């Protein structure tokens, strides 16, 4: 099937949007509302269309609004407590540069009541960036994501922007994907609007793929808090597995760095598993996810225990490019990507390709 790609430039003349063909990459500026302020966010992605689409423009991409935004000013995670006070129960953690709505601040005690994601609790306001400074920072740290919507039972990720292209992954409803290009239009396709995305992998820029725009919702998002319940691994596991998982959880929110080998300064997915297994268990793993998948003992999904490794990759070719540590309750902890760093995800946020056990107990 022939496809035609035409690069576009968006311009405004006397209040009218004009589309111009341009042999160079198109640069566009578009207004987005964030934290109560309007601003121009530059975009240097290329867009493609055909002669049948003459009025294509960038979709409105929302940023969840804040009446009073706060940004976590910490090295790793800010503790959110059930009540104001350092001795009160910790109910959640807000990662570095994570966003919250400040509901109120007690000027006498310095404790702030906040809401982030589904969590409402209290933090020490001295660890929050607030006001205009927070609004400006939100513009810099917010990331464009594509959330799989309910129109898709499962979202197919393809190698090229066409339904005839190889399917490289399937992603569950509700999962978020980092967007590289919010609009790619192809000629002569039933599904002609695509979003270019990046999948978590041990490749420097992730694994690049395309998803149909019909099945995702685009928005700019700040990282939100995660509950302590989200990091529970369950009971009935050996002490060495408990130690491994508890140690891994200490690095939640720490940075992702491709090729990195430091749990504090930055690691990629296989660096995370390698360093943890060595540090906690004295078990030596190979450096890449593909090599790690070849070692150990291959097990079934029903045999999984916290501490075992879960591998992901190309569903068609079987090529492994990502790994996480199973922590129980159908969840993994992994060095995800540059946006999220070390995080917890549903084990089925992508379709696992292999399960491997290195811990003999």
User: Which tens digit of pLDDT belongs to each residue from 183-236?
Assistant: 999 887 777 899 999 999 888 778 999 999 999 999 888 989 988 766 555 445
Cα–Cα distance for residue pair 345/354, rounded to 1 Å: 17
Q: What pLDDT band is residue 37 in, cutting at 50, 70 and 90?
A: very low
- With a pLDDT cut of 90, the percent of the chain lying above it is 63
pLDDT on residue 66: 82
Average pLDDT over residues 286-290: 96
The catalytic residue among 96, 274, 322, 343 is: 322
pLDDT on residue 58: 38
Average pLDDT over residues 122-140: 93
269 given a catalytic annotation? yes
Q: Is 3 exposed, middle or buried (0-12, 13-18, 19+ CB in 10 A)?
A: middle
What are 64-111's pLDDT values in tens digits?
A: 568 899 999 999 899 999 999 999 999 999 999 999 999 999 999 999
Cα–Cα distance for residue pair 258/266, rounded to 1 Å: 8
From residue 304, how far is each of 169, 252, 260, 332 by CA, in Å? 22, 22, 27, 11
Q: Is 318 exposed, middle or buried (0-12, 13-18, 19+ CB in 10 A)?
A: exposed
123 given a catalytic annotation? no
Could you give all domains of the chain from N- to C-terminal order, each with its CATH number? 6-58+142-220 (2.30.30.40), 69-141 (2.30.30.40), 229-357 (3.90.1720.10)
Q: Is the pTM of this model over 0.75?
A: no
Cα–Cα distance for residue pair 114/108, rounded to 1 Å: 17
Least confident of 14-23, 217-226, 294-303: 14-23
Q: For residue 24, report the phi and psi dihedrals to the nearest 5 degrees.
A: -100, 160
Q: Taking 50 as the threshold, does the pLDDT of residue 117 lie above it?
A: yes
Q: Is 30 exposed, middle or buried (0-12, 13-18, 19+ CB in 10 A)?
A: middle
How many C-beta neighbours within 10 Å does residue 217 have?
15
Q: Is the dihedral of CA 232, 233, 234, 238 positive or negative?
A: negative
- Is residue 46 within 8 A of residue 7, CB to CB? The reply is yes
- Is residue 340 within 8 A of residue 330, CB to CB? The reply is no
The catalytic residue among 334, 343, 350, 354 is: 334
Longest dimension (CA), the chain: 72
pLDDT on residue 236: 55
Cα–Cα distance for residue pair 161/235, rounded to 1 Å: 45
Cα–Cα distance for residue pair 143/315, rounded to 1 Å: 27
pLDDT on residue 235: 47
Average pLDDT over residues 24-36: 32
More confident residue, 261 or 228: 261
Average pLDDT over residues 242-268: 94
4 given a catalytic annotation? no
Mean pLDDT (the chain) is 82
Cα–Cα distance for residue pair 61/47, rounded to 1 Å: 16
More confident residue, 271 or 4: 271
pLDDT on residue 188: 77
The catalytic residue among 26, 63, 218, 269 is: 269
What the block records as the tokens of 78 is 């800010």
- Is residue 73 within 8 A of residue 127, CB to CB? The reply is yes
More confident residue, 62 or 144: 144
């Amino acid at each position: 099937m022939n496809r035609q790609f035409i690069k576009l430039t968006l311009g405004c003349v006397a209040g009218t949007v004009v589309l111009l063909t341009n042999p160079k990459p198109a640069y566009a500026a578009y207004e987005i509302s964030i934290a109560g302020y309007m601003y121009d966010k530059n975009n240097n992605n290329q867009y493609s269309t055909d002669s049948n689409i003459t009025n294509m423009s960038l979709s409105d991409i929302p940023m969840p609004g804040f009446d009073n935004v706060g940004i976590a000013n910490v090295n790793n995670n800010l503790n959110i407590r059930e009540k104001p006070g350092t001795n009160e129960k910790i109910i959640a953690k807000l990662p570095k540069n994570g966003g919250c709505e400040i509901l109120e601040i007690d000027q006498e005690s310095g404790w702030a009541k906040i809401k982030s994601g589904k969590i409402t609790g209290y933090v020490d306001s001295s660890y929050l960036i607030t006001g205009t400074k927070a609004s400006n920072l939100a513009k810099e740290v917010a990331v464009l994501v594509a959330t799989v919507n309910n129109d898709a039972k499962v979202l197919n990720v393809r190698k090229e922007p066409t339904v005839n292209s190889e399917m490289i992954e399937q992603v569950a409803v509700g999962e978020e994907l980092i967007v590289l290009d919010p609009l790619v239009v192809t000629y002569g396709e039933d599904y002609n609007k695509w979003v270019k995305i990046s999948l978590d992998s041990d490749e420097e820029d992730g694994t690049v793929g395309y998803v149909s725009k019909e099945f995702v919702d685009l928005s700019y998002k700040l990282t939100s808090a995660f509950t302590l319940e989200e990091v529970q691994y369950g009971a009935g596991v050996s002490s060495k597995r408990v130690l491994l998982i508890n140690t891994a959880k200490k690095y939640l929110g720490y940075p992702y760095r491709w090729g990195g080998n430091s749990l504090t300064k930055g690691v990629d997915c296989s660096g995370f598993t390698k360093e943890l297994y060595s540090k906690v268990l004295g078990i030596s793993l190979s450096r890449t996810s593909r090599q790690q998948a070849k070692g150990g003992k291959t097990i079934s999904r029903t045999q999984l225990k916290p501490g075992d490794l879960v591998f992901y990759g190309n569903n068609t070719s079987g090529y492994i490019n990502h790994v996480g540590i199973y922590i129980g309750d159908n969840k993994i902890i992994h060095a995800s990507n540059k946006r999220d760093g070390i995080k917890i995800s549903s084990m089925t946020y992508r379709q696992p390709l292999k399960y491997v056990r290195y811990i003999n107990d």
